[in-house]
Amino acid sequence: MIGIDKLGCYVPKTVLPLTTLAQARGVDSNKYTQGIGQREMAMVSHNEDVVTMACEAAHTILDDHDKASIDMVLFATETGIDYSKAASIYALDLLGLPSNTRAIELKQACYASTGAMFLAMDYVRSHPTKKVLVLSSDIAWYGFENSGEVTQGAGAIAMLISMNPRLGSINEGLKAVRNEKDFYRPIFSKVPLVDGKLSIGLYQDMLKEVEDHQSRRYTCFHLPFANMANKANRMLTYPMDEAHLNIVKELGSVVGNIYNGSLYLSLISVLLHAKEDLKDETIGMFAYGSGAMAEFFTITLNENYQEGINKTSLNQLLEGRQALSMDDYIELMQHYELKEYASDIDLSHYVKPYQTFVHESTTHGHRNYKKVK
Ligand code: CAA
């Protein structure tokens, strides 16, 4: 058996309530909260980026024994900080992982995390005593005053892939790829270029192509916005009832789109909020990455699956979050654009009490990170 040994998550503590955004944009707030299904979106704070978020997620699950057995770190992101150097090299260093480790970054929109997980499983199959750390970390930023603004978010997922996994084993299903133009971020653009309606249609089409026509209590989805779950659920041969569907999208509705981590955030939502005991439960998983790649697979949870998550840290994910005003949001995201493209910047005065890892400065284009506790 091969699968997810441990699963961790991090989402920023600063959030924009969608009613605040709706009021500022002169939109009926029901469109955002009921039509799109989003209540809040997590926004990165001044000294966070994809590396710090990935490290925060991994830090909650890795002990010294895990660290010693990691042989490869795969970093899935579509918010790359460098065209050449892999974000996994920074993460490996910050997390104190062994230096005889492979470190690579992968990209295919929101699908790269799932692709990385299957590559990791193959690696573990041929190196059964080793583990692979798969990090997924993204900042969904579309810029101000466009239709994508309501479907932003930020966060990271860490998955440890191993033989005899504590959380659950992964069962391969069907996959499909098509050359499509729904969502892309060419090298001249700071934000993605999106045909949202085309993307939603492709997502639904490709789900229909790869789903396995089995009836089950939970199917988790990649969720660019919470109500995508409703649209996806309707495509299934055996749709979930409303109570189970709400559990699948609960976390997403207060975090927003975290791109590569989004499907696994939906899984964490089920692990945290399901009313049933989930031991031996098989959960459907649908991954979608624009451009476009889709895959349907399942995870069968173990009897002691709770050992594969850090419930305390997961329960703390939404504690002590700070609601941003519209002015705060504009300042924060203007700062984000400035800092992401700065070749030299000092961020050392921004450290918050809940942070373990910070982006402290950039010098000559090289990001300097610090573990602050
Ligand atoms: N009260 C209640 N509901 C209302 C309403 C009101 N006053 N006004 C509108 N609505 C409903 C609409 O009926 C609609 O519901 P249905 O989809 O069920 O018909 C919903 O609110 C959204 O309305 P619109 O379609 O008119 O909204 P929009 O034109 O602003 O576009 C969007 C929404 C396409 C998601 C857009 O925000 C977008 O392009 N986002 C970025 C891209 C994205 O998220 N695409 C999704 C798939 S892509 C993917 O999966 C990859 C990825 O991660 C990006």
How do the domains of the chain map onto residue ranges?
2-167+311-371, 168-308
Reference 257, options 331, 345, 183; nearest CA is 183
How many Å lie between the centroid of ligand 1 and the Cα of residue 224?
10
- Sequence-distant (6+) residues with CB within 8 A of 209 are 174, 176, 294
Q: Does domain 168-308 bear CATH number 3.50.50.60? A: no
DSSP state of 291: T
Cα atoms in the 13 Å half-sphere on the side-chain side of 332: 23
Which of 46-70 are b and which e, b meaning 16 or more Cβ less than 10 Å from the residue's Cβ?
Answer: bbbbbbbbbbbbbbbbbeeebbebb
Ligand 1 environment, Cβ below 6 A? 28, 30-31, 34-36, 110, 147-148, 150-151, 183, 194, 196-197, 199-200, 203, 222, 224-225, 257, 259, 288, 290
- For the entire predicted model, the pTM comes to 0.98
On whether the CB atoms of residues 12 and 43 are closer than 8 A, the answer is yes
Which residue lies with its CA nearest to atom 29 of ligand 1? 147
Q: Could you tell me which CATH class the domain 2-167+311-371 is placed in?
A: alpha beta
- Sequence-distant (6+) residues with CB within 8 A of 180 are 198, 202, 290, 291, 292
Identical fold, 2-167+311-371 and 168-308: yes
Write the Ramachandran bin of 109: left for phi over 0, alpha for psi from -120 to 50, otherwise beta: left
The one-digit pLDDT tens for each residue of the chain (373 residues) are 999 999 999 999 999 999 999 999 999 999 999 999 999 999 999 999 999 999 999 999 999 999 999 999 999 999 999 999 999 999 999 999 999 999 999 999 999 999 999 999 999 999 999 999 999 999 999 999 999 999 999 999 999 999 999 999 999 999 999 999 999 999 999 999 999 999 999 999 999 999 999 999 999 999 999 999 999 999 999 999 999 999 999 999 999 999 999 999 999 999 999 999 999 999 999 999 999 999 999 999 999 999 999 999 999 999 999 999 999 999 999 999 999 999 999 999 999 999 999 999 999 999 999 999 9
9 assigned to active site:
no
Residue 308 one-letter amino acid = G
Reference 189, options 86, 87, 337; nearest CA is 337
